């Protein structure tokens, strides 16, 4: 069993949170809109809790379920609150016309996260190539 904090309260937070609860993991939800975090934690059930935005997450694994342009600023805002955590970036940094990246090909959002995260944190890229509707089926055969 793992302890997981979801930062974000949207579609992917709900989908990953649902799977995490079903897998018997401890889940905490953090959102910049506390009412959305409370509502998602309640919907997830399984003892899911809410944390305070910007505070030290309860989870050892912290999933940034945010739109790509919010990921680096939010990790920078959390700063030392993420010390020692495994930070999972799930974002897809598409440009406005969805035909390329929103940043140069010399970097990635995960690399940029690693630059602003505490040195003791580990940054992982995951989930970004799996559509929510596929992921929510459980164990996609991909
Ligand atoms: N949907 C998919 O099938 C899918 C699959 C793989 C990966 N992804 C990636 O997963 C990430 C989340 O996608 P989603 O479908 O869950 O999006 P979503 O439903 O729009 O949810 C986005 C979440 O990010 C929060 N947010 C956005 N900008 C923020 C900022 N600057 N600071 C703090 N919070 C911010 C939103 O908060 P508010 O509600 O307060 O605005 C919301 O909780 C995206 O990067 C996407 O590329 C999506």
- pLDDT tens string 89-129: 999 999 989 899 999 899 999 999 999 999 999 999 999 99
Give pLDDT, residue 101. Answer: 92
Selection from 85, 83, 45 nearest residue 63 by Cα: 85
- Domain at 3-135, CATH class: alpha beta
* 115 CB near ligand 1 (under 6 Å): no
- Arithmetic mean of pLDDT, 56-85: 98
Q: How far apart are CA 11 and CA 109, in angstroms?
A: 20
Give pLDDT, residue 117. Answer: 98
Q: Residue ranges of the domains in the chain?
A: 3-135
Q: What is the best residue among 12, 39, 63, 113 to mutate for testing ligand 1's pocket, by most ligand atoms within 8 Å of CB?
A: 12
Atom of ligand 1 nearest to the CA of 33: 40
- Arithmetic mean of pLDDT, 13-23: 96
Give pLDDT, residue 138. Answer: 78
Give pLDDT, residue 1. Answer: 87
What's the pTM? 0.97
């Amino acid at each position: 069993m793992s302890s997981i904090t979801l930062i974000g309260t949207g579609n992917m937070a709900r989908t990953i949170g649902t799977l995490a609860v079903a897998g018997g993991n401890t889940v905490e939800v953090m959102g910049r809109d506390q009412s959305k975090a409370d509502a998602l934690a309640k919907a997830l059930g399984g003892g899911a809790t809410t944390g305070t935005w910007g505070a030290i997450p309860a989870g050892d694994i912290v999933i940034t379920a945010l739109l790509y342009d919010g990921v680096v600023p939010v990790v920078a805002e959390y700063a030392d609150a993420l010390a020692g955590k495994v930070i999972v970036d799930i974002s897809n940094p598409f440009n406005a016309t969805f035909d390329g990246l929103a940043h140069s090909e010399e970097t990635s959002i995960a690399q940029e996260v690693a630059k602003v995260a505490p040195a003791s944190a580990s940054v992982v890229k995951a989930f970004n190539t799996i559509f929510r509707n596929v992921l929510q089926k459980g164990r996609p055969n991909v």
